[in-house]
């Protein structure tokens, strides 16, 4: 029985890591899409292509990955007793903030689809660094468990 639980844990952990990679890839791609989308004229055929690309990225990669990351991550945390550890609280906070960033990206994509362009390409390029910084901190917390 213990061996079966150990294998389940390892499969959950592998799945969690795989879907984190997918989610992060999407979080890196979407702001880059926004930079190119903003250069298209609102209402143009090129604009419509970017709207569709962004929607597919959100629908096929980002949202499913986000859901699986949360399900596997919370299951792993419960099975290991991580809810009682300080490093996990910090990691969870960062994942909540990253999920909020994901939500903000979805809202920004809808603004672009309506023809609104509130940010410059430069600001979007800077915002593209958010997931990388968050991922680095989350990995350190999960691997090193500093507290």
Q: What is the pLDDT of residues 20-56, one digit of tens each?
A: 999 999 999 999 999 999 999 989 999 999 999 999 9
Cα–Cα distance measured from residue 131 to residue 124, given in angstroms and rounded to the nearest whole number: 12
User: pTM for the complete prediction?
Assistant: 0.92
Query: How many folded domains does the chain comprise?
Result: 1
Q: Sign (positive/negative) of CA torsion 12, 16, 18, 19?
A: positive
The pLDDT assigned to 5 comes to 72
Is the pLDDT reported for residue 1 higher than 70? Answer: no
Q: Which domain holds residue 55?
A: 2-144
Give the number of residues written for the chain: 147
Q: State yes or no: 91 annotated in a binding site.
A: yes
16 is in an annotated binding site: yes
């Amino acid at each position: 029985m213990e061996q079966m639980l150990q294998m389940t844990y390892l499969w959950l952990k592998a799945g969690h890591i795989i879907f984190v990679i997918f989610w992060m890839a999407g979080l890196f791609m979407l702001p880059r899409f926004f930079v190119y989308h903003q250069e298209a004229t609102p209402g143009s055929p090129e604009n419509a292509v970017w709207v569709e690309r962004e929607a597919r990225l959100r629908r096929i990669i980002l949202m499913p990955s986000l859901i699986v990351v949360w399900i596997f991550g919370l299951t792993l945390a419960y099975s290991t007793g991580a809810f009682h550890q300080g490093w996990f609280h910090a990691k969870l906070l960062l994942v909540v903030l990253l999920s909020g960033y994901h939500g903000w990206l979805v809202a920004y994509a809808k603004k672009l689809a309506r023809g609104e362009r509130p940010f410059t390409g430069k600001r979007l390029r800077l915002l593209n660094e958010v997931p990388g910084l968050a991922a680095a901190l989350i990995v350190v917390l999960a691997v090193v468990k500093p507290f």
